[in-house]
């Protein structure tokens, strides 16, 4: 039980990846009846309605210190996360209409490679292995999406644009989930994404009750399981898991996407596409490899003070040991 509690964050993110990967099937079914904005509005607002009473229950049994609702960080963070979620979901749903579930899963998982690139804008150091992974992922993306006549389908391109927004969304959730109540952040995020989708649906599409009724199954599954459950697991899980490890776990949705696509739609990849998937998944794994730092490059410990050296059992902490402890 103690070990299970220790890895609670990792378990939540794993369940999130399973739900995300398998949800691509009902999302593709939803493209047969509703436009991407209409489907997004239905799933996000359904998820918000389902999640609201659940959040009240979870907050009541939570022992965390309660913060005032709609504080500055919550409004800004929830708004930014909602915009990123709205954009990522729109492009993914738009692309699903013209590509396969399996390819969608792998292209979407590119966000784990994109996240370190976003970190450059915040002056975060990028490991050499990350650059190798980015190059490998680019080659894999070429084999998976670019045909022999050097063209890419609209669906694959839209899904890739969506993965950029998912990388932004994960980075924002990691930032603001530590500043706000995670449950409130998720709720605001859903409402913002749902209202934006609803506005765009009435402006650019023609949603009607018949289409909504025809796609009620995909709407309920994605609204309850993907929005209400999976994104909640993401917010709660990322609270205790580093963004790099979180990205690694969540990227396994690509494998579940391929499996569900093969089972439900009998999707079969060509040898070229399989090679692309292998290269891309290898790149996802390589982003987590940390090369050892040579001893001569490590900062030297400051000389111990005379009184410190005379105190039995007292040790100076070098920057190296401090970093190990902080991890």
Segment holding 218, helix H or strand E:
helix 216-221
Give alpha helix (H) positions in 62-153.
72-96, 101-108, 111-120, 128-145
For all residues of the chain together, what is the average pLDDT? Answer: 79
What digits encode the pLDDT tens for the residues 199-247? 999 999 988 889 999 999 999 999 888 877 887 787 778 778 876 677 6
Look up residue 253 and give its two tokens.
């949705």
Q: What is the arithmetic mean of pLDDT over 10-25?
A: 89
What digits encode the pLDDT tens for the residues 81-126? 999 999 999 999 999 999 888 888 888 888 878 888 888 887 777 7
Judged by DSSP in three states, 47 sits in helix
Residue 76 has pLDDT above 70, yes or no: yes
Question: Facing residues of 105 across strands?
Answer: none
Give the pLDDT confidence score for residue 303 in this predicted structure. Answer: 52
Q: What φ, ψ does residue 185 adopt, rounded to 5°?
A: -60, -45
Q: Is the dihedral of CA 63, 67, 68, 69 positive or negative?
A: negative
| Cβ-contact 214, 33 below 8 angstroms | yes
Give the pLDDT confidence score for residue 17 in this predicted structure. Answer: 87
Residue 298 has pLDDT above 90, yes or no: no
| Cβ-contact 65, 124 below 8 angstroms | no
Q: Which of 41, 30, 21, 85 is nearest to 281 (CA)?
A: 21
Considering only residues 183 and 61, tell me which one the structure prediction assigns the higher pLDDT: 183
What pTM, to 2 d.p., does this model score?
Answer: 0.76
Look up residue 132 and give its two tokens.
């190798």
The count of other CB atoms within 10 Å of the CB of residue 257 is 28
Give the pLDDT confidence score for residue 309 in this predicted structure. Answer: 43
Give the pLDDT confidence score for residue 299 in this predicted structure. Answer: 53
How far apart are alpha carbons 111 and 129 in whole angstroms? Answer: 16
Residue 166 has pLDDT above 50, yes or no: yes
Angle between helix 243-251 and 154-176 (nearest 10): 140
Share of the chain above pLDDT 70, in %: 81
| Cβ-contact 138, 145 below 8 angstroms | no
What digits encode the pLDDT tens for the residues 242-264? 766 776 787 778 888 888 888 88
Q: Which of 164, 158, 155, 207 is nearest to 45 (CA)?
A: 207
Look up residue 327 and give its two tokens.
């991890």
Give the pLDDT confidence score for residue 93 in this predicted structure. Answer: 93
Provide the pLDDT confidence category of residue 316 given band limits of 50, 70 and 90.
very low
Q: What is the arithmetic mean of pLDDT over 290-317?
A: 47
Number of continuous H segments (helices) and E segments (strands) in the chain: 17, 0
Give the pLDDT confidence score for residue 174 in this predicted structure. Answer: 81
The count of C-alpha atoms lying within 13 angstroms of the C-alpha of 30, restricted to the half-sphere facing its C-beta, is 32
Q: Taking the C-alpha atoms of 274, 99, 263 and 222 in order, what is their torsion angle to the nearest 10 degrees?
A: 130
Segment holding 325, helix H or strand E:
helix 319-326
Cβ-count burial 30-41 (b if 16+ within 10 Å, e if not): bbebbbbbbbbb
Task: Quote the distance between the C-alpha of residue 297 and its chain's center.
Answer: 34
């Amino acid at each position: 039980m103690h070990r299970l509690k220790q890895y609670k964050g990792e378990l939540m993110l794993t369940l999130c990846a399973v739900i995300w990967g398998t949800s691509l099937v009902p999302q593709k079914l939803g493209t047969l009846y509703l436009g991407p904005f209409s489907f997004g509005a239905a799933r996000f607002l359904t998820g918000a309605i389902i999640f609201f009473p659940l959040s009240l229950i979870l907050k009541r049994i939570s022992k965390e210190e309660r913060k005032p609702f709609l504080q500055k960080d919550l409004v800004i963070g929830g708004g930014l996360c909602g915009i990123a979620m709205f954009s990522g979901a729109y492009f993914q749903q738009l692309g699903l209409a013209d590509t396969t579930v399996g390819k969608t899963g792998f292209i979407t998982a590119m966000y784990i490679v994109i996240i370190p690139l976003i970190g450059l804008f915040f002056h975060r150091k990028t490991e050499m292995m990350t650059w190798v992974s980015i190059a490998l992922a680019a080659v894999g993306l070429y084999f998976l999406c670019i045909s022999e006549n050097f063209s890419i389908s609209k669906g694959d391109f839209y899904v890739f644009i969506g993965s950029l927004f998912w990388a932004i969304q994960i980075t924002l959730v990691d930032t603001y989930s530590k500043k706000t109540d995670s449950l409130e952040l998720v709720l605001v995020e859903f409402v913002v994404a749902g209202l934006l989708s609803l506005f765009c649906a009435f402006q650019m599409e023609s949603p009607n009750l018949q289409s909504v009724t025809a796609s009620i199954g995909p709407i309920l599954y994605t609204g309850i399981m993907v929005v209400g459950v999976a994104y909640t697991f993401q917010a709660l899980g990322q609270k205790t898991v580093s963004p790099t490890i979180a990205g690694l776990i969540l990227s396994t949705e690509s494998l579940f996407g391929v499996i569900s696509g093969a089972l439900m739609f009998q999707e079969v990849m060509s040898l070229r596409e399989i090679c692309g998937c292998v290269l891309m998944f290898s790149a996802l794994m390589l982003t987590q490899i940390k090369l050892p730092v040579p001893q001569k490059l490590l900062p030297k410990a400051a000389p111990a003070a005379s009184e410190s050296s005379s105190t039995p059992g007292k040790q100076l902490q070098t920057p190296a040991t401090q970093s190990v402890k902080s991890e």
